[in-house]
């Protein structure tokens, strides 16, 4: 239904280590069928190719999970992806060496911003703790794909939002920014798929 908020988890692996990007989308045009399935199918065909273009062949996309979070009570839907690997030959950096894409809303509080940690960049794309220009261009293209309204498949439209705060609310994303520096993460575990 228009205005509903969905959480989309994209589970990936680098060298067998699980990595998950969690994104939130607001329905702006209803799909004809199941909303969660239309969201996952649209993300698969529209956004995942940008992950593949930017990442090493050591990266793989595993599954998508979508669930309505507002109003609460949505049933999780999962889509196991066909073999999906990065297109760039060469060894990936360790999974905790990440590229970062930040997102900002009009609310400049902790609940009004978010970050996406992208694992699977190639070792040769890192120069002096920064991304090589060609790799950075692909990372910015991935950020643009995450920012653009997502067409559902076969129909419907979804807008990226930041969801959080107390009480939880959705905030429209006004700005995306890819960072040129290589960042390091501590290990996190999350089971979505």
Give pLDDT tens digits for 56-72.
Answer: 999 999 999 999 999 98
Q: How many domains does the chain have?
A: 1
131, HSE (Cβ side, Cα atoms, 13 Å):
28
Q: Of the ranges 67-81, 130-144, 165-179, which one carries the lowest mean pLDDT score?
A: 165-179
Q: Does any domain span residue 191?
A: no
Q: Does any domain span residue 190?
A: no
Q: What is the pLDDT of residues 43-52, one digit of tens each?
A: 999 999 999 9
Report whether pLDDT(116) > 80.
yes
**Domain membership of residue 67 as a residue range:** 5-184
Q: Does any domain span residue 192?
A: no
Nearest to 79 by CA among 110, 50, 100, 48: 48
Q: Does any domain span residue 135?
A: yes
In sequence order, what are the beta bridge partners of 18? 13
User: Alpha carbon of 145 to those of 48, 50, 138, 142, 150: distances in Å?
Assistant: 9, 7, 11, 5, 8
Token pair for 169 = 């609310």
pTM more than 0.85: yes
Report whether pLDDT(193) > 50.
no
Report whether pLDDT(74) > 80.
yes
Q: Does any domain span residue 189?
A: no
Q: Does any domain span residue 69?
A: yes
Q: Does any domain span residue 151?
A: yes
The backbone region for 73, taken as left when phi is positive above 0, alpha when psi lies in -120 to 50, beta otherwise, is left
Which sign, positive or negative, has the C-alpha torsion 26, 140, 100, 51? Answer: positive
* pLDDT of res. 189: 53
3-state SS, residue 95: coil
Stretch 162-167: mean pLDDT: 85
CA–CA–CA angle 111, 77, 112 (5° rounding):
10
Distance, in Å, from the CA atom of 172 to the CA atom of 103, rounded to the nearest integer, reads 10
Q: Does any domain span residue 138?
A: yes
């Amino acid at each position: 239904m228009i205005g509903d908020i969905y959480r989309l988890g994209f589970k990936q692996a680098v060298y067998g280590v699980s990595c998950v990007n969690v994104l939130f989308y607001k329905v702006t045009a209803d799909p004809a069928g199941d909303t969660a399935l239309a969201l996952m199918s649209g993300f698969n065909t529209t956004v995942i190719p940008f992950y593949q273009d930017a990442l090493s062949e050591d990266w793989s996309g595993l599954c998508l999970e979508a669930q309505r979070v507002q109003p609460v009570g949505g049933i999780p839907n999962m889509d196991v992806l066909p073999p999906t690997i990065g297109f760039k030959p060469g060894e990936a950096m360790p999974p905790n060496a990440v590229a970062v894409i930040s997102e900002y809303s009009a609310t400049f509080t902790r609940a009004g911003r978010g970050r996406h940690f992208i694992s699977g960049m190639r070792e040769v794309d890192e120069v002096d703790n920064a991304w090589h220009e060609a790799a950075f261009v692909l990372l910015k293209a991935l950020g643009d794909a995450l920012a653009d309204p997502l067409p559902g498949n076969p129909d419907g439209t979804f807008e990226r939002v930041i969801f959080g705060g107390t009480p939880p609310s959705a905030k429209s994303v006004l700005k995306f920014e890819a960072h040129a520096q290589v960042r390091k993460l501590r290990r996190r575990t999350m089971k979505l798929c």
